[in-house]
A and B are shown apart, each in its own frame.
Chain A
Amino acid sequence: MTAPQVELLNMTKRFGANLALNNVSLLIRSGTVHALLGENGAGKSTLVKCLVGFYHPENGHIQVNGREHRLNSPKDADALGIGMVYQHFTLVPSMTVAQNLVVSGARLPAYINWQSELKRLTEVTKKLPFHVPLDVRVSQLSAGEKQKAEIVKQLYLGRKLLILDEPTSVLTPAEADEVLGYVRSLTRAGELSAVLISHKFHEVRRYADDVTVLRRGASVRTGAVADLSDDALAEAMIGEPVSKMVQHAPKSPPKPNIVLSIKDLCVNGDNGLPAVKDLSLAVREGEIAGIAGVSGNGQLELVEAMMGQRDRNGTITVSGSSFNGTRKEIARLGVYGLPQEPLKNACIDRMSLAENLALRNFDRAPLCRGIAMNYGALAVQAERLVAQFRVKAPGLTASMNALSGGNVQRAVLARELTQDVRLLIASNPTFGLDFVACEETYRRIVEARNGGAAVLLISEDLDELLGLVDRVLVMSAGRIVHEVLADCADKRVIGKYMAGMKAA
């Protein structure tokens, strides 16, 4: 079987009252890469989950090479050679790559002849344009290697239509090029068709042949990539002509006083190994310092150490006082944060919106007198914040689960930025948010900076970072390896430092 042509016709899928897919049709031509563009919640994931038999659409059908097929389960998709590479890894970390590949087969023999399997695998991987170590445990691979192994697994399983869900979000630019370049070469050779879910225009432009833009569950634009400009795509995605993403406020030169000072910080990761190594940095009043880096280079551990969520060695001082993340210090020194995935990392899902808005000040007047909570005052505060930040919610007593991602973020922005912020720690604050919520987050961060706060922004999205910060620090293998003013920053140089190709 060579590269199939797959057509989705009039797909409609509802979740309760929510129309997730509205009559979407999609043609994946044989031997092409078809990109799916769209904001979060536009229906990209729902569409491809129908294609792998995970969801069952209310309406519409799927044709493979002109024949209609019903996909009742992922097994049916497997039989048709349709496979998906997820954003998050699905390999078993404690097994080697070879073991993972062999056990992923649908029919395992009762006795596995490892020697012959290994031989066969080596032959398969020899033909690859990149190296995938077979006898190394997956847990020891880098993110890029894992992603490659995921793709090799799909090929090993004989998949002919490959769905890639934001495959490069954890890769360096060079790794992304290797992985997607390989997929494209396979499609060109007619061995594969592919669907690429992405939000990076340059990726779509470089690796995709066709593109379909989804917005609110509907297909709003489709065609050959060559025929569509970036502006046209962006307009289709958000439904209105694009204004410049980040409006840079006129920068005033940062004041000389240092707000955040980190000296010789060492933090261990979950595996007990050092993740942050002798890291020192300083952030001044009225500046946004950005930490760039590929995920998994110690950024998460750095943020958690600063937020008091992880043990550490070394000193963190804020405005000259040692900072350990107690409630008193937070209030006195004005240290607040915007973590990534705010629903998980900044909210209590089983408490109400009003209560979540009070997490920072529930133990102070007017919300609390002595030890007695004043729930009336708590509701009043929530009402005010919800109005001020335009949080859309079913009600103040709704649990956080009931809010959309953008509104969860607005609630967190409302809670964190209405305090007396003097240091703001933002960690991938727009990860997984839609366009509008991203823009609002950017605006609020810049406002905080203009209000005199020191901002430390950690982001894996280099474009986002360069658009926002005054100074860039590059983190690699737990250290700051490069520092440059944003105005003088060169993306290629930063990329090389991110990939660890240049030492400090």
Chain B
Amino acid sequence: MSSISGIESPPSNPPGTAAQLSVALPVLAVLLASAVFAAFVALYGQNPFTVFGLIVQGGFGSSFAWQDTLSRAAPLILVGLAVAIPAQAGLVIIGGEGALVLGGLAGAVVTLPFAGAHALPMQVIMLVAGALAGGLWFGLASLLRQYRGVNETISSLLLSYIGIAIFHHLTEGLLRDPASLDKPSTHPIDPSYMLPVLPGVGVHAGLAVSLALAIIAHVVLRYTRWGFALRVVGGSARVARMVGLAVNRWVIGATFVAGGMAGVAGAIEVAAVQGTANSSLIVGYGYSGILVAFLARHQPLAIVAVALLIGGMQASASLLQRRLELPDATMLVFQGLIFVCVLVADAIAQQLRENTRR
């Protein structure tokens, strides 16, 4: 892949067209996808305006809808970061789902030996365990890339399937709670270890963790020498080596951190929602994260906004199903359309840029 769209040089953002383009393109892509989606639901005999009204209502129309949206946005922010951070170093990694479920599994089992301890250290341990598991899983993809020349996009996707298979293998075998009959799960964590609900918001504390990590990622990438070095590495490994940057270490480090983000997302889902690791973790957050990051053009703060949008769309799916009897997958179709439109818009923008250059 020759370049990853949307990575600007932050504080020295080019004035005028380039900056405007980076906002206008995703907006245009979403509008275009909405038009196609409207035609799609019209084929189902539904009024598109009713459908869009229900999406807004189901995602953002009530405090209950907001709670649902926000608790979905929390993992989406993190898996979005898991795509965006390697993108700074020039990698396209799309295996967030595998890192997420393994992170969830690690988080679910790490506190099992310690019943009745203080909650806070246990919660921290769960998130850290999730981060390590996810980081190691992503790290594999970049190790293969740097030392064996394996394309990281493909290897991360395939590793994701392996990760999910390992997850099934362990939750249905070695780590299975015999009491979980119809839905193989690990032993439930001590209920006192569950992440608390944020007062006043009604959403679990994982949202705060996600927001904090997004802000940290933003600051580090924009305002520190680490972010600068990462952009040099992502811009040209050749030049990075010439100026003495240890490219392998930067690339592997960035993917480790990114995998850590996805792993924390999994651990949060366990520690705040499920209370145990089971197949409910595998609902495609990892793949939605790819959409989130691309639509946000790999900018951490934009990822928060886009995660809210996508989270809201996903939250409204059940309303669409109840009111209009549209199938559950309708929202997946919409998401897929947006993704295709983003990629097309990027390709067109790239073409335009090259034309103006020559």
Contact = CB atoms under 8 A, between A and B. Distances in A.
Our verdict on whether A and B bind, yes or no, reads yes
Given A307-B241, A325-B244, A350 B224 contact: no
A397 B14 contact: yes
Interface stretch (B230-238, B266-274, B305-313, B339-347): B230-238
B20 interface: no
Nearest to A331: B244
Give the size range of B's interface with the partner. Answer: 20 to 34
B18 to A, nearest CB: 8
Interface in A368-403: 368, 371-373, 375, 379, 396-399, 401
B84 to A, nearest CB: 16
B357 interface: yes
Interface in B119-150: none
B113 interface: no
Contacts of A399: 9, 14
Contact of A339 (B7, B242, B244, B358): B242
A328 B12 CA distance: 27
Contacts of B49: none
Given A308-B241, A350-B235, A351-B231, A373 B358 contact: no
Contacts of A344: 236, 238
A345 interface: yes
Nearest to B7: A350
Contacts of B64: none
A359 B229 CA distance: 9
B13 interface: yes
Contact of B12 (A15, A308, A355): A355
A178 interface: no
A330 B240 CA distance: 13
Contacts of A359: 232, 239, 243
B246 interface: yes
Contacts of A463: none
A347 B243 CA distance: 10
A203 interface: no
A326 B244 contact: yes
A426 to B, nearest CB: 13
A327 interface: yes
A309 B244 contact: no
Contact of A347 (B12, B231, B239, B244): B239
Interface string A349-375: 111101100111011000010011101
A327 B12 contact: no
B280 interface: no
Nearest to A348: B235
B244 A308 contact: yes
Contacts of B236: 344, 347-349
Contacts of B7: 350
A375 B225 contact: no
A398 B356 CA distance: 15
Contacts of A372: 223-225
A346 to B, nearest CB: 6
A346 B239 CA distance: 5
B28 interface: no
B3 interface: yes
B14 A351 contact: no
Contacts of A348: 231-232, 235-236, 239
A371 B226 contact: yes
Given A351-B231, A351-B232, A373 B225 contact: yes
B228 interface: yes
Nearest to A350: B235
B238 A345 contact: yes
B353 to A, nearest CB: 9
A368 B242 contact: no
A360 B9 contact: no
Contact of B228 (A325, A362, A398): A362
Contacts of A15: 358
Interface in B194-246: 223-229, 231-232, 235-236, 238-239, 241-246
Given A326-B244, A346-B239, A354-B12, A16 B356 contact: yes
A37 B184 CA distance: 78
Given A362-B225, A371-B225, A371-B226, A397 B15 contact: yes
A32 B12 CA distance: 54
A346 B242 contact: yes
Contacts of A43: none
Nearest to B354: A401
Given A329-B244, A330-B243, A346-B242, A397 B12 contact: yes
Nearest to B10: A375
Contact of B243 (A350, A351, A360): A360
B235 A363 contact: no
Given A325-B244, A350-B7, A350-B9, A373 B235 contact: no
Contacts of B45: none
B219 to A, nearest CB: 9
Interface string B7-36: 101011111000000000000000000000
28 contacts: A308-B244, A309-B241, A309-B242, A325-B241, A326-B246, A327-B244, A328-B244, A330-B244, A337-B242, A345-B242, A348-B235, A350-B235, A352-B12, A352-B14, A355-B228, A360-B243, A362-B228, A363-B228, A371-B225, A371-B226, A372-B223, A372-B225, A373-B223, A373-B224, A373-B225, A375-B11, A397-B14, A401-B357
